[in-house]
Amino acid sequence: MDGDNSSMITVNEAKTTGDIIHPKHVVAVICRSCGYDLDEAEVNADTCSSCGETLELRQNTTIYATTLPAASGSTLV
Ligand SMILES: [Zn+2]
């Protein structure tokens, strides 16, 4: 944990529970209008400090796919 980091970004490291693999994923709180990455103070504001619109929060989850073994054969799309 980094106590100096006031960002609203939550990093969840990859882990395995039984047979289920949870890939690493990052959850960020962003502005609905412009996608600006808000920090802790900005989340409580009335307007977005980036685009100036009335602030509506949105959670943005980014999943980092784990590195898979190279698959042989054809690739199905
Ligand atoms: Zn914005």
CA of 7 to the centre of ligand 1 (A): 16
Which of the pair, 73 or 65, is modelled with greater confidence? Answer: 65
Does the pLDDT value for residue 28 go beyond 60? yes
Does the pLDDT value for residue 19 go beyond 50? yes
Does the pLDDT value for residue 75 go beyond 60? no
Query: Dihedral of CA 41/35/1/25: which sign?
Result: positive
Tell me what the mean pLDDT of segment 30-50 comes to: 94
CA of 67 to the centre of ligand 1 (A): 33
pLDDT bin (cut points 50, 70, 90) of residue 65 is confident
Q: Could you state, in order of their start, the residue ranges of all structural domains in the chain?
A: 10-64
Res 1: pLDDT: 47
Does the pLDDT value for residue 8 go beyond 90? no
CA of 46 to the centre of ligand 1 (A): 11
CA of 26 to the centre of ligand 1 (A): 20
CA of 57 to the centre of ligand 1 (A): 9
**Residue 43 contacts residue 8 (beta carbons within 8 Å):** yes
Q: Residue 18 half-sphere exposure, CB side, CA atoms within 13 Å?
A: 1
